[in-house]
Amino acid sequence: MTATIEAAGLRKRFGTTQALDGVDLYAEQGTVLGVLGPNGAGKTTAVRVLATLLQADSGTATIAGYDVAKQPQKVRETVGLTGQYASVDEDLTGTENLVMIGQLLNLSGAQARVRAKELLAWFDLTEAAGRPAKKYSGGMRRRLDLAASLVGRPSVIFLDEPTTGLDPAKREDMWDVVRNLVTEGSTVLLTTQYLEEADALADKITVIDHGRVIANDTADGLKRVIGGHRIKVRPTDPEQLGRVATLLTRIGTGEPEATGRNTLTVPVTDETVLPVVVGQLADAGIGVTELSLHLPTLDEVFLTLTGKATDDEEVAA
Amino acid sequence: MSIITAPDPTTSAVDLQRQGERPAVVKYLTHCFVLAKRSLIKTMRTPEALVDVTIQPVIFLGLFTYIFGGAIAHGSQTGYLQFLLPGIVGQTIAMASISLGSNLNSDIEKGVFDRFRALPIGRSAPLVGAVMADVVRYLILLIITLGVGMIMGFRIHTSVGAALGGIGLALGFALCFVWVSVFIGMKARTSGAVTGITMLIVMPLSFGSNVFVPTNTMPGWLQDFVKVNPLSHLVGAIRALFTGGAWGTDVLWTLAWMAVLLLVFAPLAVRAYRKRV
């Protein structure tokens, strides 16, 4: 497989802020690369460099073999971009927005209208097609923005936080759209703050923090990197927590940690210890309301990789 | 609800590849026209944004003719109107340029221009398109100002050709002068700042000129400024083309100023636009 998105050593400084501090990204054709990080990590800056909206101070990047610095027009012909803030023209109707983009991509007026109609139907916006975009709901605006980025049938699509601010049901819809695009062979770069979203969509996940890549792997690979399985126990009677802790200390490979209300989690060697735990809990007469064996969640991955929980204290990039 | 209701958008009845054959210049101009049309649609949907080219020139005509005109022209308000109207055309052209820079600034803040910049179109096309659309606003300005002026008693004393020449010159000047506002629109942080800064330039230009009174009534140091002021030359040229007199020198000076404004501020504006993050 060849790289469709490839960036090496991207650096970009804004004043005193080093937004990108040597970022490498890589995605093969027909895959989803999830770029995960908190606000201010440099995700948007990276996307803007790859979409030719911004020049990196140093480093190289190619999209479908085209150099973003040297062949920007070729890159722009290849890429569809959906920004963090839905960049549709509010005063124009859905149809007018899409027809305009089509004509800017050198479609004739008639062809641009056909294409607009197709996309509006695909994104369930046919009824709203004649209304100015400022009358759209947040979800509709996102869909129109995504539709606008697909007018030219780009083979590479950048989605910069496509579901930020959407309610969960709308988020699932957006996920379906992304999955569908990939099925058709498009390559998607998706930035997100939602660990859950990267887990659900991405073939590979690159975790960025303070302009640096701190991990790059599959979701499962990431989970393995920071340790094996964990067992989580919540006794029915909170009074029993002490006894549960003693029991888990004997079985686990580390100290049990309190993870939520009356819940203890301990890392274990492998999944075979689960029946042992169940047996010992039964022997000790401790009833449980929750007992689970799981890989670390991506939230826990981030905590381990950065030494701190995901935070929002940084300025958005 | 699934929003996928039709075959996916990567397959389409439209053949996107077929269009790549036209020469680059034709494509560029087409893009500019498409973007100009966008601006026009926005203008037509917000008619209140036309106040500066409709109500404002009328207010200035009325104000200066009926309130100050009698004093300035020693009683002959109609006579003063003959002098004033070409001046008002020049002044309102300068004032009307402010809104484009301010609109473009807020467009960029809203992110619409990110979309344009991510498309394979000429970098300057969004700005050139917006300036092209502004022609319509200046046409409205000229029609309103001349129309209301005529109702008030203004008369063209030259030929239809000369009058059309004056209108053409005014439009041409407007399209060159507006690049100053576009440049400021690209540089300033907020659209409010654009209005403020451009106003600071437009005010001395329109009052330190022959718009309201003849240059020879002013002190010498001020006359030096008035005589190089591009608006003075524009107004002098329009005045001669509408009401008679020698127009050659003023027309040449105006054309020279237009070239300077265009050649300096259009590239500066495009450069500032490209650099803006």
Question: Is residue B227 assigned to a domain?
Answer: yes
Q: Is B133 helix (H, G, I), strand (E, B) or coil?
A: helix
User: Do A176 and B2 count as a contact with CB atoms less than 8 A apart?
Assistant: yes
Fold of A3-224: Rossmann fold (3.40.50)
Interface of A with B in 2-31 (CB under 8 A): 14
Write down the number of H helices and E strands in chain A: 11, 14
- Nearest CA to A213 among A6, A64, A5, A35? A35
b or e along B211-233 (b: 16 or more beta carbons within 10 Å of the residue's beta carbon)?
A: bbbeeeebeeeeeeebeebbbbb
Say which of B5, B112, B118 has its CB closest to residue A122: B5
**A35 DSSP β-pair partners:** A191, A206
> What's the pLDDT band for B28 if we cut at 50, 70, 90?
very high
Per-residue pLDDT tens for B133-183?
999 999 999 999 999 999 999 999 999 999 999 999 999 999 999 999 999
Domain ranges of chain A: 3-224, 229-294
Mutate which of B1, B5, B8, B110 to disrupt the A interface (most A C-beta within 10 Å)?
A: B8
Per-residue pLDDT tens for B83-122?
999 999 999 999 999 999 999 999 888 888 888 988 999 9
Count of A–B CB contacts within 8 Å?
135
Judge whether A114 and B11 are in contact, CB under 8 Å.
no
Smallest CA–CA distance, residue B64 to chain A, in Å, is 37
Is the confidence at residue A312, as pLDDT, over 60? no
> What's the pLDDT band for A251 if we cut at 50, 70, 90?
confident
Question: Is residue B51 assigned to a domain?
Answer: yes
- Where are the extended beta strands (E) located within chain A? 3-14, 17-28, 32-36, 58-63, 66-67, 79-82, 156-160, 187-192, 204-209, 212-217, 230-235, 257-258, 264-267, 288-294
Average pLDDT over residues A235-241: 89
In the sheet with A187-192, reading across from the earlier edge strand, the strands are A79-82, A156-160, A187-192, A32-36, A204-209, A212-217
Residue B96 backbone class (left: φ over 0; alpha: ψ -120 to 50; beta: rest): alpha
User: Do A101 and B4 count as a contact with CB atoms less than 8 A apart?
Assistant: no
Domain coverage including residue B96: 47-105+134-275
Backbone φ, ψ for residue A210 (5° rounding): 50, 45
Return the HEC string of A116-159: HHHHHHHCCCCCCCCCEHHHCCHHHHHHHHHHHHHCCCCCEEEE
Q: Same topology for domains A3-224 and A229-294, yes or no?
A: no
| Residue A243 CB neighbours (<10 A) | 15
CA distances from B130 to A175, B97, B133, B136 (A): 36, 12, 5, 11
Across chain B, what does the average pLDDT equal? 89
Question: Is residue B110 assigned to a domain?
Answer: no
Question: Is residue B151 assigned to a domain?
Answer: yes
pLDDT of residue B73: 81
> What's the pLDDT band for A271 if we cut at 50, 70, 90?
confident
Chain A residues whose beta carbon lies within 8 Å of the beta carbon of residue B111: 83, 85-87
Tell me the CATH architecture of domain A229-294.
2-Layer Sandwich (3.30)
Q: To which residue do tokens 């927590």 refer?
A: A241
- Nearest CA to A222 among A293, A304, A309, A308? A304
How many domains, in total, are found in chain B?
A: 1
Is the confidence at residue A182, as pLDDT, over 60? yes
- pTM score of the predicted model: 0.82
Question: Is residue B257 assigned to a domain?
Answer: yes
